[in-house]
Amino acid sequence: MSKYVKDLLSQDISSRLEGVADCVLANVIGLDANSSVALRKRLREKDICLLVVKNSLIRRATEGTALEPAFEGISGTNAVLWGAEDFVSLVKEVEELNKDETFEEFETRGGVMDGEQLTPERVAEISKWPSRAEQLSMLVGQILGPGSQLVAQLTGPGSALASQVKEKAGGEE
């Protein structure tokens, strides 16, 4: 491959990865055609992008970006996965694929989060974290808890007084 073609390919890859700060690396070699199509469809439904690329090209394309640490010291064929609602959702989906019998050859190889290189073990650990939606629901619950308790305390004496007034008023009729 000529240097000109390599430059064009690395520019294309870097434009695809523009704005991406976190990714996961996986091995997808060994999947048959039907499994590969099913894998890509499943990822597309979750807004996750998958790109299988030569290591030297991806290193060249991510040079000087937040993704650069992910490709230090890697070897073999790798697929880059990015996207989803947030990084934790991406990692959870990747770990589900790791455990899925349909995609036995799928294997997590690491990744990068906030400029830090991740090992496969660290990726598995991150998959246990709450996703953005789960964190927001916990936050809303924590905000609403004291508020609902305050409302109950304010309306409790008022409703007790109203029932006593109603009882007294009912006896006079």
Strand, helix or coil for residue 78: strand
Write the class of the CATH domain 3-129: alpha beta
- How much of the chain, in percent, has pLDDT values that exceed 70? 98
Dihedral angle, C-alpha 14, 17, 19, 24, nearest 10 °: -140
Confidence at 97, pLDDT banded by 50, 70, 90? very high
**Phi (first) and psi of residue 108, to 5 degrees:** -75, 135
What pLDDT digit, counting tens, does each position of 130-160 carry? 888 888 888 888 888 887 777 777 787 877 7
Question: What rounded mean pLDDT belongs to the chain?
Answer: 87
The C-alpha atoms of residue 23 and residue 82 are separated, in whole angstroms, by 5
C-alpha 172 chain-centroid distance: 66
pLDDT of res. 173: 53
- Taking the model in full, what pTM does it have? 0.75
What residues does each domain of the chain span? Answer: 3-129, 130-173
Outline where the chain has alpha helix (H): 3-16, 33-45, 55-61, 87-99, 120-126, 132-172
Question: Residue 171 pLDDT > 70, yes or no?
Answer: no
Confidence at 164, pLDDT banded by 50, 70, 90? confident
